[in-house]
A and B are shown apart, each in its own frame.
Chain A
């Protein structure tokens, strides 16, 4: 069974204070690792897809990296508008559940001005 663990559960930063969020996973044959951002009362907003170890993707102040066991979401010089819950999800190759994403519990990020 695919499993995803995110840490920390909550992270409070000062504006401009860079940090990283961790996503540890176990999966039978990774077919994709996904990062989403979720604001209160809204659906998850897609950020990145990573497929293989060593892959990196960047978007504005965010950079996602992937190893065989974990992914990191690096936030450089965050701003208050980066405050949100960040979700990590994986899809494995196991069985015939080609559609199922397994999500972590999320990291609640708060950036103070």
Chain B
């Protein structure tokens, strides 16, 4: 079946502009996650959704970052007034569910490479 898809695959923007990154999870997966991977660094958690709600936004770096999810499907990560330090690969993942019990496997998309000039 279809995996997690993300668009665009690459985005080049100028400092100060707003960008929107899109994620389409695996069909039927109720949990969706956003991570950031800076060059040469590990994956950094940003936010996750259970359904359309975001119980944990603790990883969002600043109030310039926001995310929403609609229809328990597509999610959009928005970065306002982009800065050069926002340059990174933004990865989305989904899993069947999430809970306090044993963790479901998260399946990742190909990522969006964001470059802020």
Contacts of A25 in B (CB 8 A): none
Q: How many residues of A contact B (CB 8 A)?
A: 26
In contact, B102 and A36 (Cβ under 8 angstroms): no
Minimum C-beta distance from B84 to chain A (A): 21
In the complex, what distance in Å separates the CA atom of A39 from the CA atom of B1?
Answer: 21
Q: How many CB-defined contacts (below 8 Å) exist between A and B?
A: 76
Indicate with 1 or 0, residue by residue over A72-113, a CB within 8 angstroms of chain B CB atoms: 000000000000000101010100111111111110000000
- B residues at A contact (CB < 8 Å): 4, 31, 33, 35, 41-45, 48-50, 55-56, 58-59, 91, 98-103, 105-111
Contacts of B102 in A (CB 8 A): 31-32, 51
Q: Does A59 contact B (CB under 8 A)?
A: no
25 pairs of residues in contact across A and B, judged by CB atoms under 8 Å: A31-B103, A36-B108, A42-B110, A43-B4, A43-B109, A43-B111, A44-B43, A44-B108, A87-B42, A97-B56, A98-B48, A98-B55, A98-B56, A98-B98, A99-B31, A99-B48, A99-B56, A99-B98, A100-B48, A100-B58, A101-B33, A101-B45, A101-B103, A102-B45, A103-B44
